[in-house]
Amino acid sequence: MSIGLVSSPDGRYNRGIMHSRSPVHIVCFGDSLTAGFQSPTRENPQGSSTPYGESLQESVGSAGRVSISGICGELTGEMVLRFRKDVLAHEPRFVVILGGTNDLGWNGPTHEIMRNLVKMYEQTLAAGVVPVPVTVPSLRVEDAGNSREGMAWVAEHLARRFELNGLILDYARTKHLTAVDLFAATAEPETNLLAREYSNDGLHLTTAGYRLFADLVYRQVLQPVLSKSS
């Protein structure tokens, strides 16, 4: 097994893990949630990245190889611009696509975010590759409940996430694709806020959160395929 790793200060994280026999190639594509960014803590002062793709590779094993292409802070429009070169040119079999968190943070219109995501989904399908749409996780602002304005701000951002994620899930159903609902898996059922166990900054995931993400992709998308080919 050989491993190539490139990580740079601009938040770009690219990693390819290659096995001698790897019939299934999976690309994890997106922003900081794909790069595995973690905010620094007392226990982890450097905020080391833990991409879900690394955990996914552990689950896939020698049955395939996982490539990671995530850039912190990237918008979906920027993702579209590099999609063919960084993803389709490598001829994967599956592409896990997670984008929109940063667009939502900049108050980007949900229909424009979805339009960019659809461009990537459609390019993937046209190339004979399987796209795996992923919903945008929730957020958490610890002191938002201290004021009416804070509660209204959170409610507005949750509403926009619900709108975008609804579009993502509807698209997947229409195209008979398996979508990974990362929002539902990492949110508190009673509040719809990002669960503390999965995030220490209210936006990015913890190692536990990224491992859960990998487990969802493996169990819902890859395991059925790999079990048939083994």
**CATH code, 211:** 3.40.50.1110
The model's pTM: 0.88
- Is the separation of the CB atoms in 52 and 34 below 8 Å? yes
Q: What is the pLDDT of residue 3?
A: 32
Q: What is the pLDDT of residue 146?
A: 65
**Residue 183: which domain range?**
2-229
Give 3-state DSSP helix, strand, coil % of the chain, rounded to 5.
50, 20, 35
Q: What is the pLDDT of residue 148?
A: 81
Q: Count how many domains the chain has.
A: 1
Q: Residue 29: beta bridge partners?
A: 69, 97
Q: What is the pLDDT of residue 144?
A: 63
Which regions in the chain score pLDDT beneath 50?
1-10, 16-22
Q: What is the pLDDT of residue 150?
A: 73
Q: What is the pLDDT of residue 86?
A: 96
Segment 72-130, tens digit of pLDDT: 999 999 999 999 999 999 999 999 999 999 999 999 999 999 999 999 999 999 999 99
